[in-house]
A and B are shown apart, each in its own frame.
Chain A
Amino acid sequence: MQNFINSLPTEDRLPLELSKLYEQFGYQKYCMSKFEEYGFYSDNRDFLSTDGIIAFNNSAGKLMALKPDITLSIVKNARTIPFANARYYFNENVYRISENTHDCKEIKQCGIELLGDVDSHATAEIVLLALKSLEKIDSDFTLIISHIAFVSSALKDAGIFGENRRKILGFIKRKNRHDLLNWCEENGVSSEIIERLIKISSISGTLGEVLPLLKELVTGEATAAAYEELFNLYNTLNKMDLYSKLKLDLSVLNHLDYYNGILLQGYVKNSPSPVLSGGRYDSLAKKIRGDGGAFGFAVYLDGLNLHYPNNKEFDCDALIIYEQSNSTLLKIVNDLCQRGETVRVEHQKPDCIKAKRIFEYKNGNLTEVAE
């Protein structure tokens, strides 16, 4: 079975392997409808990572949407279990309007959501599952971790709000230290704060390397709490094999309206854009459910077949060419299949098919022939 799974294209193989991984860690499969009332998404537009919602009227005239996001649906509809965390995994498609081409896009996603008490164990578990998910795509991968609350609180402590905050976050996101410096100098920001902001935009390395630098940037209770959370994560994960694949980089600041704590972004060697994205989204959970913490991530499967093509040498193990069939041909094919071989039967050898072995079936006999 594993050989068969390994032979599948990446986008087909991964959902199976990731589902197994998430089930092993106690996550239950969550299935959802493709459609949701449009009003739900428009009410929570701030939490959507896309502006483009594909809407249509159903037969009753109600405005519906093809779901643009999975997390919102799970947070709204999933049942929580008393005195336990809700742990769900999903293997679903989302529908969005492409920012580049403005065409409708169907995007395959696999991922997990944990709703409830997101303590240090739950946090480490999700980060570990993100690491393991990336490893299933390519052994050469990196998971970037960031902390939105740390950066937001550092700006708050520095007295930077509103439009200025938005501007500075933009510079940090692009690691654009030259424009950050110019802007701060033009706007009378003190040299001490400028230095701190430049350090925030520069921090990038393993947790062990950069946590001491981060500690120097703690300015108040909120940044101290964020630092503590990252330090606890380091203490738990530095004992694991995959720890070296985890990097802290505070320039990763996506969906600031959606996430409010630790943020995850995963890269694999062959893909130029992130293939995993997620984070802590307590504020969304509070808005919709009224309580609790929430943490999750999604693996984006689209494009992985392009970056990780399935380079199978042969299209099938055995190609059988026959002129006339009789009752034994199907039995022969069935026997070969039961031995684990892939078999194709044709009247003539198709040019586009490459077989490991070619057989001729004549008068009830099977003879191997040279290609």
Chain B
Amino acid sequence: MITIALPKGRLGDKVYKLFASIGYDCSEIFDDNRKLIFENKENGVRYLLVKPSDVAVYVYHGAADIGIAGKDILDECGLSLYELLDLKLGKCHMSVAAPNDYKEDQSRPIRVATKFPNIAKRHYMSFNREIEIIKLNGSIEIAPLVGLSDVIVDIVETGTTLKENNLKVLEKFLPISARLIANRSSYTFKQNEIDLLCGRLQKVLEEK
């Protein structure tokens, strides 16, 4: 039995369809109810529906053997996990954005509003730029518009939200997509099952 942590929402739905197409279906998952755990003993699979940002935590602590998490979440949490496949879903970029008329003042640290403080710190540290982090949990785009920060570091897919808020992308620095992750201990004990699943998944992805 493999336990898979799926992110709730659109990405999770897409990924579930992928898994179902390679023999890991669990039809109950589409029933109209509030259940968060679904199991299909015949197919040897159990799904946990969890908040996207928690997938890596469930896998790291072994509550799930494998899971699907965005590269942004993985780089931010820095947990020791295997990252076995790039599903090439939910593609976007981690970017630095600022108001359209922004001009950097090099005489002081940049104030950076972000949901991803570790990624932001690492990025600016790579060229030794001093910053001040303002950790937010959502609506990051507002921060530079009301003077809370100079720039934001956030994921940008189409850029529409930025445009509508008079912001522009200054720099794209980390490509993001959904990754198949595995707990190191689970991989050790269930290597054949996990490798088989990965192989099937990779084949489907290549055919797409």
Interface residues in A16-33 by Cβ distance below 8 A to B read: none
Contact A176–B189 (Cβ < 8 Å): no
Which residue in B82, B85, B86, B186 is a CB contact (below 8 Å) of A272? Answer: B186
Complex alpha-carbon distance, A69 and B27, angstroms: 51
Decide: A175 and B189 in contact? CB cutoff 8 A: no
Main SS at interface, chain B: mixed
Please tell me if the beta carbons of B61 and A178 are within 8 angstroms of each other in the complex: no
Q: Per-residue CB proximity of B84-102 to A under 8 Å, as 1/0?
A: 1110000000000000000
Q: Does B185 contact A (CB under 8 A)?
A: yes
Within 8 A of B (CB), among A154-193: 174-176, 178-179
Cβ of B184 < 8 Å from any Cβ of A? yes
CA distance A364 to B165 in the complex (A): 89
A267 contact set on B, CB distance < 8 A: 184-185, 188-189
Let me know if A142 and B60 touch, CB within 8 A: no
**Contact partner, B60, options A144, A175, A272, Cβ 8 Å:** A272
> How many of chain B's residues have a CB under 8 angstroms from any CB in A?
17
| Inter-chain contact A271/B188, CB cutoff 8 Å | no
Is A204 engaged at the interface, CB distance under 8 Å to the other chain? Answer: yes
Q: What chain B residues lie within 8 Å of A269 (beta carbons)?
A: 189
The 8 A CB mask of A251-293 against B (1 = contact, 0 = none) is 1000000000000000101011110000000000000000000
Closest Cβ–Cβ distance, residue B40 to chain A (whole Å): 23
- Inter-chain CA distance A142–B191, complex, in Å, is 12
B83, A175: Cβ atoms closer than 8 Å: yes
Number of inter-chain CB pairs below 8 Å: 40
Known contacts A174-B83, A175-B82, A178-B85; is-contact A272 B61 (Cβ 8 Å): yes
A218–B159 CA distance with the chains assembled, in angstroms: 48
B183 at the A interface (CB under 8 A): yes
Residues of chain A lying within 8 A (CB to CB) of residue B84: 175-176
Interface: A247 (CB within 8 A)? yes
Residues of the A chain whose Cβ atoms lie less than 8 Å from the Cβ of B191: 204
- Residues of A within 8 Å of B61, CB to CB, are 272
Within the complex, the shortest CB–CB distance from A86 to chain B, in Å, comes to 32
- Which residues of chain B are within 8 angstroms of A175 by Cβ–Cβ distance? 82-84
- In the complex, what distance in Å separates the CA atom of A140 from the CA atom of B186? 12
B82 touching A174, Cβ below 8 Å? yes
> What's the Cα separation between A271 and B185 when bound, in Å?
7
B82 and A273 within 8 A (CB): no
Q: How far is the CA of A204 from the CA of B184 in the complex (A)?
A: 12
Nearest B residue to A268 via CB reads B185
For B185, list chain A residues within 8 Å (CB): 267, 271-274
Q: Are A140 and B189 in contact (CB under 8 A)?
A: yes
Question: Which A residues are CB-close (under 8 A) to B63?
Answer: 272
Q: With the chains together, A274 CA to B62 CA distance in Å?
A: 11
Task: Give the most central of A140, A142, A267: most B CB within 10 Å.
Answer: A267
> Which residue on chain A has the smallest CB distance to residue B86?
A178
In angstroms, how far is the closest chain B Cβ from the Cβ of A200?
14
Query: Shortest distance in angstroms between B53's beta carbon and chain A's nearest beta carbon?
Result: 15
Measured in the bound complex, the distance between the Cα atoms of B85 and A176 in whole Å is: 7
B140 an interface residue at 8 Å Cβ cutoff?
no
Contact B83–A176 (Cβ < 8 Å): yes
Return chain A residues, CB-CB under 8 Å to B85: 178
Question: Closest residue to A204 on the B side, CB-wise?
Answer: B191
Q: Is the CB of A247 within 8 A of B188?
A: yes
Query: A247–B190 Cα gap in the complex (Å)?
Result: 13
Q: Which residues of B contact A142 (CB under 8 A)?
A: 188-189
Please tell me if B81 contacts chain A, counting CB pairs below 8 Å. Answer: yes
- Interface 1/0 per residue, B172-207 and A, CB below 8 Å: 000000000001111011010000000000000000
Query: A168 CB to closest chain B CB, in angstroms?
Result: 14
- List the A side residues contacting B184 at CB < 8 Å: 267, 273-274
Which of chain B's residues have a CB closer than 8 A to the CB of A271?
62, 185
Least CB distance, A10 to chain B, in whole angstroms: 17
Docked pose: A269 CA to B188 CA in angstroms: 9
Chain B residue, CB-CB nearest to A140? B189
In the bound complex, residues from chain A placing their C-beta under 8 Å from that of B186 are 272
What is the bound-complex CA distance between A272 and B191, given in angstroms? 14
Q: How far is the CA of A142 from the CA of B183 in the complex (A)?
A: 14
- CB of A277 to closest CB in B, whole Å: 12
Contacts of B81 in A (CB 8 A): 174
Which 6 pairs from chain A and chain B are nearest by CB? A272-B62, A178-B86, A176-B83, A174-B83, A175-B82, A267-B185
Interface residues of A (CB under 8 A from B): 140, 142, 144, 174-176, 178-179, 204, 247, 249, 251, 267, 269, 271-274
Q: Can you give 27 contacting A-B residue pairs, CB < 8 Å?
A: A140-B189, A142-B189, A174-B83, A175-B82, A175-B84, A176-B83, A176-B84, A179-B86, A204-B191, A247-B188, A249-B188, A267-B184, A267-B185, A267-B188, A267-B189, A269-B189, A271-B62, A271-B185, A272-B60, A272-B62, A272-B63, A272-B183, A272-B185, A273-B62, A273-B184, A273-B185, A274-B185
